[in-house]
Structure 1
């Protein structure tokens, strides 16, 4: 470098040091119009935390959309606006190329019955400060689709950039492909390292010598952590890991990344809640179904979300069919027999090409698992998932499931337990576990507004089969006792 180039670089460095930071410029602009950070958040729809981190210069690469919202909220124009934009460019540091990130894939079909879930999850991310959120639910309940909707809502709001992780690393030629590759390495390296530890115990001296010679998955994991921590920094970012159910090792690796990136949020899937308590579990249940048959009058007021989904996927029905009360009642019955599980309802809608609604209901009552798999598909993923979930239960929890499944009517805790306030933790924990596993789902509240629950109709059919998973009997059955079905009905009516 010659003397002139050296002098020019020194002058440029001094100019940057003398220029006010983006945080200082934003804070001055906010104070000039006399608003607090909270008031600016309302004016701009940018979170208070993002505004605070920008003013403290903890965020060095603000997203273009975030900056635009703030400038609009501050009502800056002309030279004032240019000054803030210039400060943002001068403060930018190498890191996550937010503006080059591809948006999350769009949801092509209408999403039915998940509006409250989308709003609640979005608030957890943007306002609640929750950083590791697991969307928990059974197979086929719609976890992946819900995550896709939430990622799109966060991306559209401009609150924070969304990194839609490709589980296999992706190969699209985008500038962020290396980012996806590091994420895939992080998750894969964690699984490989856990597998290696199981195969080679630490007490084996040869394993240490081999590990020193060939670092393997642990070195790859550490390298991926370093690369991602450098890319994410302290900025507010939502990392979405979709299409894969987190293993304990992969989740532990994500927690290590969260510890190094103070602004990072992770949204992922899980089949059951965390036993360690770290992070936030958001349970997703099947779509609600109506316990009452759909009659010829007042149809619009009793159409359940599950029935709405069935109708939205029933393209083979004649145009006049949805207006027919008998057709509506038959389709509502199909939804009830399929427990409001979105994947099962979508599969059943495909069978309408071969069956009319009355025939479809007859098949659903006789063999609901047949309808839960689309025509021409040999795999019964939902059935296999339920069988695996039942087989993995502790005998105590499985025994509770058997006794609850013996009664077809929805039940309240008072009806299921002789004295809920005196019930042991094991009985209440068992019912809670069965709900989070998707084997028991919420039902309509009774007349007094008390929550009710029911064992999945699919699970009842599974347990009634001769090849049902064997459940060892328990000697002590605890306080789980039932009223007779007649008394259950009368108590519901009385309520």
Structure 2
């Protein structure tokens, strides 16, 4: 040990500090890379005295810039860096009491066709590198259901506590209720980071935000909260990817449907995830459909007309009380949006969402969408464009955007393993409606009345 190191170490008494204190954690990190306080001062441009006072515990709350310089000088990243930052934040509050967390709202009906999505999202939540996860997809695709499934699985596994900050379900204890209110205030721009960070505490917690609208300010507030509380993970839903590049996107697409171009290789090949969902919502018809190939084909056609969108399929199942499967398939060919809305519900939410997405497109992307609708079957990128030169960054960007907005969805891969896509059938109908010429105005007519022997008569003539 050299004289400089001897001099440095004599300033530090034997280790009687809490091993989780900032001084102990900082000293351990310095010793791990084998540098003295003087050498660390040279590496970080922080004075030796400041480093000594921090390690002795004489300074408990270093400035943020001082801490950053020290962490950079120690070359700390990942978990090691997070440990020092947590120690610098001081002893955490116990947070919300464990027994104040009620289970997230239960999923009341089977979730069909989302097994891989649930598994993938659980993997993202359990990996420390993904702490702000955004479930992205069009309206009606089942984002909230996925959040419920993941939150329920995490809560049941006891790997981390779950705070469901939604309009229903979640915790009922007053302390957790206050935290839910603080989350809402934070996202609305009125909340305080310190209060919520104290409430959350240092434990591993999954904060689930269903049906939220993010803006740059609310997203920035969430990121600050994540920095303050390294045990926190956030899972929320959105209709589009973030424009601000924070977090991890997990795209959710409609359920896959039977591919008309693939032929039929028996009953099992035709039971797509979308058809499984339809059968699960058909009640007494499910057994009949399973034994009748014509009924199965009609239901598969309905699912295909509705693009495998779960909410639309569930709405169509309600119409089976009024129509036979064959009648419903015929109606789906004429007006699929009618089927996508439950009987007695006059709101055209799905139509409005798709219409708004189409109207939001840049003219270049709108032109790509119109050209893609000419392909009646799923297409690869090579099939979608006339020449390889057209498959450049602008084309790829357009297709990615159209998928993100829910106007185009992935289809089954071709025999060579190349991804294929298709424009939603509902979008085709929407574009066809917009392109249809307006009905001509009724021809003006003049009504004439006169007295005849039989009484008063009238007749109308073109003006």
C-alpha spacing 1:106/1:402, structure 2 compared with 1 (3 Å): same
Is 1:380 the counterpart of 2:348 in the alignment? yes
The answer to whether the Cα contact below 8 Å between 1:246 and 1:269 also exists between their aligned partners in 2 is no
Deviation at 1:371, TM superposition (A): 0.1
1:338 to 306, 317, 323: 306
- The 2-side partners of 1:331 and 1:300 are apart by 14
TM-score by length of structure 1 reads 0.67
1:38-57 correspondence to structure 2 within 5 Å: none
Structure 1 equivalent of residue 33 of structure 2: none
Structure 2 equivalent of residue 104 of structure 1: 104
1:289 to 257, 260, 263: 257
C-alpha spacing 1:57/1:96, structure 2 compared with 1 (3 Å): farther
Structure 2 equivalent of residue 394 of structure 1: 362
| Secondary structure of 1:239 counterpart | strand
Deviation at 1:92, TM superposition (A): 9.0
Is 1:260 the counterpart of 2:217 in the alignment? no
| Secondary structure of 1:245 counterpart | coil
Deviation at 1:417, TM superposition (A): 2.3
C-alpha spacing 1:450/1:127, structure 2 compared with 1 (3 Å): same
Structure 1 equivalent of residue 201 of structure 2: 233
Deviation at 1:278, TM superposition (A): 1.4
| Secondary structure of 2:207 counterpart | strand
TM-score by length of structure 2 reads 0.72
Deviation at 1:174, TM superposition (A): 3.9
| Secondary structure of 1:135 counterpart | strand
- The 1-side partners of 2:428 and 2:356 are apart by 15
- The 2-side partners of 1:238 and 1:20 are apart by 27
Deviation at 1:316, TM superposition (A): 4.8
| Secondary structure of 1:320 counterpart | helix
Structure 2 equivalent of residue 411 of structure 1: 379
Deviation at 1:383, TM superposition (A): 0.7
The answer to whether the Cα contact below 8 Å between 1:285 and 1:442 also exists between their aligned partners in 2 is yes
Structure 2 equivalent of residue 156 of structure 1: 156
After superposition, give the CA deviation of every residue in 1:321-344 in whole Å (9 maximum; x if it has no partner): 331000000000000000000000
After superposition, give the CA deviation of every residue in 1:414-470 in whole Å (9 maximum; x if it has no partner): 11124447633111100010011110001111122211100000000000014789x
- The 2-side partners of 1:439 and 1:175 are apart by 43
The answer to whether the Cα contact below 8 Å between 2:382 and 2:391 also exists between their aligned partners in 1 is no
Where does structure 1 lack aligned partners over 5 or more consecutive residues?
1-16, 22-50, 60-90, 191-219, 470-495
- The 2-side partners of 1:448 and 1:152 are apart by 38
C-alpha spacing 1:181/1:448, structure 2 compared with 1 (3 Å): same
Deviation at 1:173, TM superposition (A): 5.1
The answer to whether the Cα contact below 8 Å between 2:141 and 2:254 also exists between their aligned partners in 1 is yes
Structure 2 equivalent of residue 208 of structure 1: none
1:301-340 correspondence to structure 2 within 5 Å: 301-317=269-285, 319-340=287-308
1:441 to 409, 418, 431: 409
| Secondary structure of 2:410 counterpart | strand
Question: How many residues were matched structurally?
Answer: 363
The answer to whether the Cα contact below 8 Å between 1:169 and 1:183 also exists between their aligned partners in 2 is no
The answer to whether the Cα contact below 8 Å between 1:339 and 1:457 also exists between their aligned partners in 2 is yes
The answer to whether the Cα contact below 8 Å between 1:294 and 1:329 also exists between their aligned partners in 2 is no
Structure 1 equivalent of residue 94 of structure 2: 94
C-alpha spacing 1:96/1:444, structure 2 compared with 1 (3 Å): same
Deviation at 1:52, TM superposition (A): 9.6
Deviation at 1:320, TM superposition (A): 2.4
The CA RMSD over aligned residues, in Å, is 3.2
| Secondary structure of 1:243 counterpart | coil
Structure 1 equivalent of residue 215 of structure 2: 247
After superposition, give the CA deviation of every residue in 1:380-403 in whole Å (9 maximum; x if it has no partner): 111110001111111111111011
The answer to whether the Cα contact below 8 Å between 1:137 and 1:143 also exists between their aligned partners in 2 is yes
Deviation at 1:55, TM superposition (A): 11
- The 2-side partners of 1:169 and 1:111 are apart by 18
Higher fraction of helix? 1
1:130-145 correspondence to structure 2 within 5 Å: 130-145=130-145
- The 2-side partners of 1:183 and 1:169 are apart by 15
Deviation at 1:166, TM superposition (A): 2.9
- The 2-side partners of 1:318 and 1:413 are apart by 38
C-alpha spacing 1:258/1:442, structure 2 compared with 1 (3 Å): same
Structure 2 equivalent of residue 371 of structure 1: 339
Is 1:351 the counterpart of 2:334 in the alignment? no
The answer to whether the Cα contact below 8 Å between 2:257 and 2:308 also exists between their aligned partners in 1 is yes
The answer to whether the Cα contact below 8 Å between 1:170 and 1:181 also exists between their aligned partners in 2 is no
Deviation at 1:58, TM superposition (A): 6.3
- The 1-side partners of 2:17 and 2:366 are apart by 69
| Secondary structure of 1:390 counterpart | helix
Deviation at 1:118, TM superposition (A): 0.4
- The 2-side partners of 1:243 and 1:252 are apart by 18
Structure 2 equivalent of residue 180 of structure 1: 180
- The 1-side partners of 2:265 and 2:231 are apart by 53
Structure 2 equivalent of residue 117 of structure 1: 117
The answer to whether the Cα contact below 8 Å between 2:261 and 2:377 also exists between their aligned partners in 1 is no
C-alpha spacing 1:464/1:52, structure 2 compared with 1 (3 Å): same
The answer to whether the Cα contact below 8 Å between 1:167 and 1:241 also exists between their aligned partners in 2 is no
After superposition, give the CA deviation of every residue in 1:333-389 in whole Å (9 maximum; x if it has no partner): 000000000000000000000000000100111100000000000101111100011
The answer to whether the Cα contact below 8 Å between 2:164 and 2:170 also exists between their aligned partners in 1 is no
Structure 2 equivalent of residue 67 of structure 1: none
